[in-house]
Amino acid sequence: MTDDEISDVLMRLARARGAGRTFCPSEAARALSGDWRKLMPRVREVAAALPLVATQKGVAVDPVAAKGPIRLGLAEGET
């Protein structure tokens, strides 16, 4: 699994949801691997480098440092 493949899936999910909507990063991991749980740290790392905003209970967080579930969505102005 390459970072480009992860990036493509993350951005496809974010764009499919559209501005103001979020998704769980596990959706990307599940689309990429049957053993998706092991992929989650890498998905978060790749997400941190993309024009995505990670939130936890509606507050922006660092997707790598955040503990517990997060949501990802398009950054303001992204389409």
**Structural domains present in the chain:** 3-74 (1.10.10.10)
Rounded to 5 degrees, φ, ψ at 68 are: 90, -175
Count Cβ atoms below 10 Å from residue 28 Cβ, excluding itself: 28
Output the CA–CA distances (angstroms, integers) from residue 39 to 30, 32, 42, 58, 70, in the order listed: 9, 9, 6, 24, 15
CA 42/CA 36 separation, integer angstroms: 10
Answer yes or no: are the C-beta atoms of 44 and 56 closer than 8 Å: no
Residue 78: pLDDT band with limits 50, 70, 90: confident
Position 79 scores a pLDDT of 67
Q: Which residue has the tokens 């790598």?
A: 64
Position 34 scores a pLDDT of 94
Write the pLDDT tens digit of every residue in 9-59. Answer: 999 999 999 989 999 999 999 999 999 999 999 999 999 999 999 999 999
